[in-house]
Amino acid sequence: MRKKSFGTKRIVSFLGLLLFALLDGSVYAQRQEFTINSSWQFTLDCEPSMSETVNLPHTWNAQDAFTDKGHYYRGKGTYEKELFIPNEWQNKRLFIRFEGANQSTRLWLNKQLVGEHHGGYTGFVFELSDYIRTGEDNELMIEVDNRHNPDIPPLEADFNFYGGVYRDVSLIVSNSVHFDLASEAAGNFLIQTPEVTADKAEFQVESVLVNGSKSKRGVQIKLNIFNPQGEILKTLSQERKLSAGSQNSIRFSDFIQNPALWSPEHPHLYKAELTVTDKKTGQQLDEMSSSFGCRWFSIDAEEGFFLNGKPLKLIGVNRHQDYPVLGNALPNALHRKDYELIKEMGSNFVRIAHYPHDPDVYRLCDELGLLAWSEIPIINEITNSTTFTNNCLQMQREHIMQFFNHPSVVMWGYMNEIFLRMVFNRKLTDDDKEQIIATTVELAQQLDDETRRLDPDRLTAMALHNNQVYNTTGIADIPDVIGWNLYFGWYDATLDDLGAFLDKEHKRYPKRPILITEYGPGADTRIHTENPKPWDYSEAYQLKSHQSYYRQVMERPFVAGMTAWNFADFGSAGRQDTRPRINQKGLLNFDRTDKNVYHYYQALLLETPFVYMERHNPGQYFCDADSDGNGQLLLHVFSNQPNVELLVDDSQILNQAVKDGITEFQLTLPIGHHILKAKAGAVSDQYNLDVYSRSSLNQLIDKQAVCVNVGSHCDYYDPLTKEIWVHDQSYTKGEWGHVGGTVYQRNKQKFQGTAINITGTDNDPLFQTMQEGLSEYRFDVADGSYRVTLLLTEPNLKASSSLIYNLTDETDELAADLRIFDVLVNGHMVLYNLNMARDFGAAHAVAISFEAKVQNGLVIGFENKAGQAVLSGIKVEKIR
């Protein structure tokens, strides 16, 4: 390890340790724990000559996972730091605790390997005692590797595998006699509540007490139980004689009479505090504490989930842990913000996907009253190796032991869509598939057995994708609960097919409890339409989908619950949707700004009075006009009240009933500015909007540019320029639109052009849709001078960049992948032999502007040389 200057880091570390040295002796004798997050020297293996000072939590993929393909670095990173160890700690035991580092971690202290850990989402502790030098600086070095490793799950998944020490790291200083730290529980002790009723709750507390000294010690161990008000409810104690170098199991059990039960409405928390005291001197040697709750639950295949004896429909979200600019290296304050938003939505349930999250997340679920399904990241496929199996089992042990005490956790999951890759891999033989099935089912059984051994009181769970292989192989019969990840109306069939699927599954497997663990389409807040279709990424289709799912689930008592995919958009480097490298199925955007569907769930789930009017395109609506020239628009209002009163410009009053959290107002408004106020009981919401007429778009050109989203039935809002690109239409005399052509569809079963990443722009949706084979685009504008901008892209990634001077038999083979055309304005050539694959590259955003003098209307013509002309957008501005 190379020697570096750590002057600043040494000072920071020394001041932190000095604080503890100044404490009085009785406190200093106990355990001390503090973060050592600040000022690490960080180096990537791919850039060994470049080093920077970073604070933890940290990931090196916060930016590069969102750049063009090939920049997403998965490899090794090194963190180094000098830590001053005072002489006063000579007889102490020192530990370092990691809350999480992805995905393989090795730690050196003073150039000696202390330990290594595999798995990126659970905590781990290394003991440093045998490697430290007191009274001087000690060199710490952490190596983290997030490369693909066939023996460490997840092998691949639809989220980013951020590398780095992305959670807190702490130093722990303890006496020789201390509660166990360096185990799979990572310092946690276990609190069980095996029998709970409204009258009495049994609790059991288990820990391991370590005597790291070379002599026998007589100690007293005491357990204090605090009620939810913070008052001591019970005190239990026992005396033990500890052999030198021994580990000793400690167990307490007793009852709480008339317990305050934990629930989403009343998340009452008790606290257990363990202390150990030297019997001879009376000195307290160590202390640890943990919250816990008293509740009982069950699940029934016919009637769903029950908590404390009462039926409870589980409704909530999945949640990934990343955030813009930070990746997965979040401060605890942002975890709290997320879970507060989940609770404010009205959720009572969360699936912590697809891996254990930060320890603060589980504390927040306890405090806020959110029931939880927590799982380990065995996703899509497995490796048939002993090492992979052992790593999976270790992950589940760590997962359970570290989060055991949290009353919010009711289900332990261990696999997600595990046959997904096998189903879609056409190269596999039948023998290959049989082998994969056999080893996967065997691993599932081992994980289920281990989960039940460690925690017989909670439910085991597994999530499946829509394929009967899970039933035919029997793997779906292993866990207590099955979660179906169902995307009807998106990846599969139609929205209304959901109910038929659920009814069929329940009829075939009447004793199997089921949840819907994933559902929902992608949605982009820049895209608006009143004519939603699958794969248009509009908020309108997202709302339509969620309405349909909620209705169909609530009609079926045997469905225990549903968790929307996902709480918020999240990073996924392989994604090519309307926002590349982002999975957009969230109820909130990646930055946690809201989508309309979030408020729909508030109307469904909140008990306090609520009303909210949907928002689009920052209040600008381009509407079809009636015969009087007024704009017509559809407005959704979300409320949990029986009726909504809508005031238009403080004069016109409309009143409508609310059903299932929503009502629709079909409004006819004069062109211009309007103020809408929605009132529902004692609550209200106000929304300012401007109404424009699509049919009079040509008349607007004197005031602003006219922008058309060609080939799309959706309006598109550019948040940078504040321009709205209105949806396309066929030409009508006196108006505007395309002549000829068809909407380009890469996949004929989906409605929106192409989902590929368009380079050179942030406005991908504008370029992903287009008209193909059109002959003209017309605007019947007044005579004058105009600037015309065409938006184009080549959607065919295999498109030929060849030149064609004359078509012959030799070019026939190229014709299918060749696109060359001319562009004319009012009969005058402006672009000749345009071949976008040749001139700009496929899937690249092209904007070409030119000026034109117009008489008797503006006509942009397209003449094909090879293939068919395409047009994604057109912008017309009057030159003043």
Question: Mean pLDDT over residues 521-544, rounded?
Answer: 96
- DSSP string spanning 202-249? EEEEEEEEEE-SSS-EEEEEEEEEE-TTS-EEEEEEEEEEEPTT-EEE
> Would you call 25 helix, strand, or coil by DSSP?
helix
Mean pLDDT of all residues in 279-305: 96
Does residue 4 have a pLDDT over 50? no
pLDDT on residue 67: 87
So what's the pLDDT on residue 1? 35
Residue 20, token pair as written in the block = 């503890």
What string of DSSP letters covers 291-306?
EE-B--EEEETTTEEE
Confidence (pLDDT) at 25: 42
Short-list 325, 323, 459, 318, CA closest to 379: 318
pLDDT digits (tens, 9 = 90+) for 715-759: 999 999 999 999 999 999 989 999 999 999 877 656 577 888 999
Task: Read off the pLDDT band of 11 (50, 70, 90).
Answer: very low
Distance CA 178, CA 30 (A): 9
Task: Let me know: does 159 contact 133? Beta carbons within 8 Å.
Answer: no
570 CB-side CA count, 13 A: 20
What does the pLDDT average to over 753-781? 93
| Joined tokens for residue 690 | 């401007």
Residue whose pair of structure tokens reads 């052009």 in the numeric block: 753
pLDDT band at 24 (very low <50, low <70, confident <90, very high): very low
Checking if the pLDDT of 6 tops 60, the result is no
pLDDT band at 23 (very low <50, low <70, confident <90, very high): very low
Identify the helix (H) or strand (E) that includes residue 143. Answer: strand 136-145
Question: Which amino acid is it at 533?
Answer: K
**How confident is the model at residue 750, as a pLDDT?**
63
Burial of 794 (0-12, 13-18, 19+ CB in 10 A): buried
pLDDT value of position 702: 83
> For the chain, what is the mean pLDDT?
92
User: Per-residue pLDDT tens for 138-154?
Assistant: 999 999 999 999 999 99
Question: Rounded to the nearest 5°, which phi and psi values hold at 479?
Answer: -80, 170
Distances in Å between the Cα of 809 and the Cα atoms of 503, 813, 814 are 58, 8, 10
573, 577, 583, 586: CA torsion to nearest 10 = 160
Whole-number Å distance between alpha carbons of 380 and 465? 10
| pLDDT value of residue 804 | 53
Cis peptide bond upstream of 609, omega within 30: no
Q: Is residue 385 scored above 50 in pLDDT?
A: yes
Nearest Cα residue to 711 out of 740, 743, 735: 743
What pLDDT is recorded for position 816? Answer: 65
Strand partners, 343: none
Cα–Cα nearest to 576, from 747, 765, 422, 417: 765
Q: Give dist(CA 407, CA 858) in Å, integer.
A: 68
Q: What are phi and psi of 383, to 5 degrees?
A: -105, 135
Helix/strand/coil (H, E, C) string of 617-638?
HHHEEEEEECCCCCEEEEEEEE
Q: Sign (positive/negative) of CA torsion 590, 594, 596, 600?
A: positive
Read off the pLDDT band of 95 (50, 70, 90). Answer: very high
Q: Please compute Rg for the chain using Cα positions.
A: 31
Element (H, E) at 737: strand 736-743
Mean pLDDT to the nearest integer, 155-171: 96
Q: Which runs of consecutive H residues, i.e. helices, occur in 412-538?
A: 420-424, 430-454, 469-472, 497-508
Strand partners, 277: 220, 284
Cα separation, 595 vs 587, whole angstroms: 6
pLDDT interval class at 695 (50, 70, 90):
confident
Q: Average pLDDT of 332-337?
A: 97
Can you tell me which residue has the tokens 């009447």? 510
pLDDT score, position 69: 65
Are 706 and 737 contacting, i.e. CB atoms less than 8 angstroms apart? no
What average pLDDT does this structure show over 570-599?
A: 95
Lowest-pLDDT choice from 10-14, 377-381, 491-495: 10-14
> Predicted confidence band at 22 (pLDDT cuts at 50, 70, 90)?
very low
Q: What is residue 434's three-state secondary structure? A: helix
For residue 706, the Cα-to-chain-centroid distance in whole angstroms is 37
Active-site residue among 99, 139, 398, 417?
Answer: 417
User: Exposed, middle or buried: residue 860 (CB in 10 Å: 0-12, 13-18, 19+)?
Assistant: buried
- Could you tell me if 316 and 351 are in contact, meaning their C-beta atoms sit under 8 angstroms apart? yes
**Do the beta carbons of residue 499 and residue 555 sit within 8 Å?**
yes
Whole-number percent of the chain with pLDDT over 70: 94
> Would you state the structure tokens that stand for residue 685, as one six-digit string?
């919401």
Amino acid symbol at 780: D
Mean pLDDT in residue range 436-465: 98
The residues, ordered by sequence, that sit 6+ positions from 42 with a Cβ below 8 Å of its Cβ are 51, 52, 53, 54, 58, 60, 77, 78, 79, 80
With tokens 């530990």, the residue in question is 95
Could you give the CA distance from residue 62 to residue 56 in angstroms, rounded to a whole number?
13
CA distance 645 to 687: 14
Which two three-digit tokens encode residue 22? 């100044």
How many CA atoms, within 13 angstroms, populate the side-chain half-sphere of residue 361?
29
List all residues 6 or more positions away from 468 whose beta carbon is below 8 Å from its beta carbon.
none
Q: What is the pLDDT of residue 438?
A: 97
**pLDDT over 70 at 70, yes or no:** no
**Res. 812 pLDDT band, cuts 50 70 90:** very low
Give the pLDDT of residue 5: 34
- Dihedral angle of Cα 783, 788, 790, 791, to the nearest 10 degrees: -120
pLDDT at 2 over 70: no
Range list of H helices, 528-583: 539-554
Q: In terms of Cα–Cα distance, which of 329, 317, 338 is closest to 592?
A: 338
Average pLDDT over residues 532-554: 96
Q: Are 55 and 93 in contact (CB under 8 A)?
A: no
**416 band by pLDDT with thresholds 50, 70 and 90:** very high
d(CA 225, CA 260): 13
Active site residue 47: no
pLDDT at residue 835 greater than cutoff 80: yes
Cα–Cα distance for residue pair 855/732, rounded to 1 Å:
18
Structure tokens at 368: 């806020």
Q: Measured in whole angstroms, how far is the alpha carbon of residue 392 from the centre of its chain?
A: 22
d(CA 278, CA 645): 70
Does the model's pTM come out above 0.75? yes
Q: pLDDT tens digits, residue range 628-667?
A: 889 999 999 999 999 999 999 988 889 999 999 999 999 9
> Is 60 exceeded by the pLDDT of residue 14?
no
Alpha helices for 694-739 (secondary structure H): 697-700
